[in-house]
Structure formats: C-alpha cells, structure tokens
Amino acid sequence: MSAESTPNLMEAVVSLAKRRGFVFQSSEIYGGLNGFFDYGPLGVELKKNIRDCWWNDMVRRRDDIVGIETSIIMHPKVWQASGHVDGFTDPLVDCKVSKQRYRADQLFFAAVTVDGEVKGYVSALESEDTVGALQAAAESFKRKKAIQGTLAPVVAVEFTEATEAQIPLIPSPATGEPGSLTPPRAFNMMFETHVGPLRDSASVAYLRPETAQGMFVDFKNVVDTGRVKLPFGIAQTGKSFRNEITPRNFVFRSREFEQMEMEFFIHEDDDWAKWHRHWIDWCKDWLLSIGLPASHLSEYDHLKEKLAFYSKGTTDIMFKFPFGVQELWGIAARGNYDLGQHEKASGVPQAIFDETTKKKFIPHVIEPAVGLDRIFLAVLCGAYAEEQVTDEKGKAETRTVLRLSPRIAPVKVAVLPLLKNKEALTERAKELYKKLQRRYAVFYDEAGAIGRRYRRQDEIGTPWCVTIDFDTIEKDGTFTLRERDSMEQRRVTEAELLALLDEQVY
C-alpha cells in the first residue's frame, strides 16, 4: 500500500504524529487551545531540519542572499504603512443561532432551481467536492419539500458574492435553516497587545502577521552594512501570528506558525518575470530536494483581476494534501510597493543609487513566502505509507513507514547491538553511537527483537539502522546496514557508513 492508497491518510498522519511525539495539541491538559500546537521530541527535530535545509540552501549556499532576524513586535507604524492595519482582513460571517463563525470565502451557496424557477438555497463549507455537497443538499431540499420537476445542476457561489436579498434565504451550515447568517464583515487577523505599563490606544502594538516587513524595514541597514549589490535577497525565518477565523487541518492553518520568507530585490528595469520564474523553479526544486513527491506538486497563477493593484503576478506552488490541493508556497512579484510605502510613512529614503545611469530608484521585489508548519505537514503526508510485508517468521504484517529524505529525517541512524546482554556487542555499539552523535542525530536501541526495533525506526522515518553482531567483533569489524525503504541489508565498514552519511545528509 502506498501513501496515496492509505484510507483516511490524514487521520493516520495525525495519529502517528501524536503517538510518536511529533506534534501535540497546545495546553492539552487544559483541553487545548484551538489553532495552537506544540512540537514533541521528534517533531522539533524534523522541523529544525527542514528550517536548517532551507537556511543552508537559501542563505549560506548562495552568494546573493543574506539572512537577518527581526523582532516579532515592531513599531505599529510598520503595519499602518504596510496596509495590514486597514486591510489584513478576512470576511467573517456569524450564525446568530449557533454562534458559529465562518470565513465567507470558504462558505458556498447555490440556488435550488427546479424547472427554471428558484425554489430556495442550500449551503456547504468548502471541501474537496463543494459542488457535489451542494448538489446533494439541493436534491435533499427538493425531496423534503416534495417539489415536482427537473432540478438544474447547482452553481456554487462564494458567500462573499451573496446579495442582500439572498443572505436571509441561505441556510446556515450549522443549523440547516435560513435566516441566521449575517452579511460578511471585515475581520482583522492581527493579534493586538500593549507595549509598556499603560494599556491605552497609544500603547497598542501587534504580533507580526508575517516576517516579510522585517526585511523591508531593515533594507537600508542591510544595504549600508552588508556589502550587497543588486540583485540580492534578504531572508529570515520566524514565528508569525494570525487570528484565523477557522484554523483547521491540523498544522496547515494555525494561529501561531513559522514562516520562511525571502525578499529578492532587483533593479527597477530588470526583467521581473525572469526572476519570478527563477524563484518558482528554485522553490519547486528545493521541495523535491527534501523529498516531497513531484506528483503532489503543481502551480497556480493568481488571476490578474484578483491581484492587489501593485502586484505584477503571484504564483502559488500547490501541494496535494489529503484534504485537497492547497497553497504551500506563494511567490509574489510585488513591484516596489513595500519599500515605497515605508519611505512615504517614515520619511526615510529607501532609494539606492545606480552607478551606471546615475539615477536613484527604489528596487522592486520578488517574494517567495512559505509556512514551515505547512511544509512539515506536506512532508508527513507525502512520506507516510502502510505496506504489507512478511516478518522473519514468514508471517504477513502491516509495516508503517515514513519515507523521509535523509536530509530531514529526525534520526539519521539507529545503532542496534544484536543482543542486549552481550557486553562486547553493546560496548562496540555504544562506541559507534558516541562517534556518530558528534555530527548526526542518532538513536541507540538495545531493547526487544531486532525486527521490532527496525519497525520502530521505520515508523519515525529513520533511513538507516546499523546492527552490531558477532561478525563485527569476531571477524572483520563490518556492521549490517539495513535500508529503510528497500529493507535490504548489506555489510559495510565504518568508513563506508560515514561516507554514506556525508553524501546523503547535507
């Protein structure tokens, strides 16, 4: 069985994440807090590895990108200039009866049209098959009301498009009855706090909803100190906070999450479309390099008419999650809007001088922005598999395996002495374990049958196990190297093991 054929893949992934200590609900002993998560011992390693791979590839291994780390709480004027105070909103709809809240752009409705006449409305929350759900609801509506005639195929409409006359007639998804949904209103997603001892309007500040503004606000500092020349990028990773109306799908959409963003500044006359394409390709290649299956990746170009006025183009790299194809990474060509806004609001010039044309200009920017927690979830969904295998005794069993790339696997190697009670074996195993530990996350396990120990490592995605047996200590010093995906075993020397790790873990 492959990942794709695992029934209820999402449930299986969430259950494994809890069972093996990847992700816990935040504040679980108090009933949890919706939209917040904790990362357990294996989760924190996996997340760190993804972040480190991104940092190494994006910053350290490129000559044209530098990194920074900016504060989470910034001057409130930053968020006025960026447009977030006025415009960082989602359309919110309340159900007055059930007190449920919905995002209007995730709530759909359709007219029930029989023999060309509208008989009422049905609604459904966005899902993998929104139209199917609306069609089924329309059929049930017609049946319940005993309406005769031919039902037209439904046309799904976003609730944001509902007219004043339609809103009172659209049923709430919570109650199934019309009359309780409010018109959509703009809900600002920024978390507010206060800075200093006084709690008044002058002390209001915000937890950042994105890391990007840090790069814009520090642009001049980096230019003046960093010996950078266009085109160049500034990158950072860090926590962002959004008071999402409907956090859902595990860590896919949470209220506290981590972003990895990079602002790539180019000359105003440079070919933005070329750089935009460069970064889309780079991001896709990078996702493949950490092991996401190519079959799950696609691109979505935002419609020109839906882009912000300053935007030249946005392409999302989409991932096929178990709950549908969703945005993973957004690559936006933002013109010089952000730096221009900060220049206007702060009065501090953001333009740089072009030695060739002797003109000053504000650079344009391409922004690849991704959520670390979203990649984490994509990685688990893409790697999870259940397979039918036969154990050493010839019995069929189901093996759960996480096919994680060695680059990001939380444990790279498990060191296993064949027997627990033979000191010569455990001593040699511990010696190897200590040596590997200096450079890699490794695990020592001497408890239980060797087959069971292999399975435990398969489930957490450890690419290799090495077993120290009698041949190791009595003959040539080689170990058995067992490969997770093929389950093949071969004998290797310590030097060969180190060379393998050096090549595959980078």
Residues that bind ligand ATP (CB under 6 A): 210, 242, 244, 253-254, 257, 259, 327-330, 369-371, 373-374
Compute the distance between CA of residue 487 and CA of residue 136 in angstroms, rounded to an integer.
46
Q: Which is nearer to ligand ATP, 105 or 270 (CB)?
A: 105
In this structure, the number of other CB atoms found within 10 A of the CB of residue 420 comes to 13
* Residue 254 CB, nearest approach to ligand ATP (Å): 5
**Closest to 255 (Cα-Cα) out of 33, 45, 92:** 33
Phi-psi region of 431 (alpha: psi -120 to 50; beta: other; left: phi over 0): alpha
Q: Could you give the 3-state DSSP secondary structure of residue 330?
A: strand
Compute the distance between CA of residue 424 and CA of residue 439 in angstroms, rounded to an integer.
24
Q: Which run of H or E residues covers position 109?
A: strand 107-114
Quote the DSSP letter at residue 231.
Answer: S
Q: Which is nearer to ligand ATP, 106 or 405 (CB)?
A: 106
* Residue 398 CB, nearest approach to ligand ATP (Å): 32
* Residue 372 CB, nearest approach to ligand ATP (Å): 8
Closest residue (Cβ) to ligand ATP? 371
Q: Which is nearer to ligand ATP, 208 or 412 (CB)?
A: 208
Q: Radius of gyration (Cα) for the chain, nearest Å?
A: 27
* Residue 243 CB, nearest approach to ligand ATP (Å): 9
* Residue 284 CB, nearest approach to ligand ATP (Å): 14
* Residue 159 CB, nearest approach to ligand ATP (Å): 16
Residues with Cβ within 8 Å of 371's Cβ and at least 6 positions away in sequence, in order, are 257, 258, 259, 260, 328
* Residue 258 CB, nearest approach to ligand ATP (Å): 8
Q: Which is nearer to ligand ATP, 293 or 368 (CB)?
A: 368
Q: Which is nearer to ligand ATP, 191 or 444 (CB)?
A: 191
Q: Which is nearer to ligand ATP, 58 or 415 (CB)?
A: 58
Q: Are strands 384-390 and 479-483 parallel, antiparallel or unpaired?
A: unpaired
Compute the distance between CA of residue 146 and CA of residue 108 in angstroms, rounded to an integer.
24
Q: Which is nearer to ligand ATP, 135 or 211 (CB)?
A: 211
Residues with Cβ within 8 Å of 92's Cβ and at least 6 positions away in sequence, in order, are 101, 102, 103, 104, 184, 185, 186, 187, 245
* Residue 176 CB, nearest approach to ligand ATP (Å): 28
Q: Could you give the 3-state DSSP secondary structure of residue 297?
A: strand
Placement of tokens 């979830």 in the chain: 377
Q: Which is nearer to ligand ATP, 112 or 317 (CB)?
A: 317
Give per-residue burial for 353-377: e unless 16+ CB within 10 Å, then b: eeeeeeeebbbbbbbbbbbbbbbbb
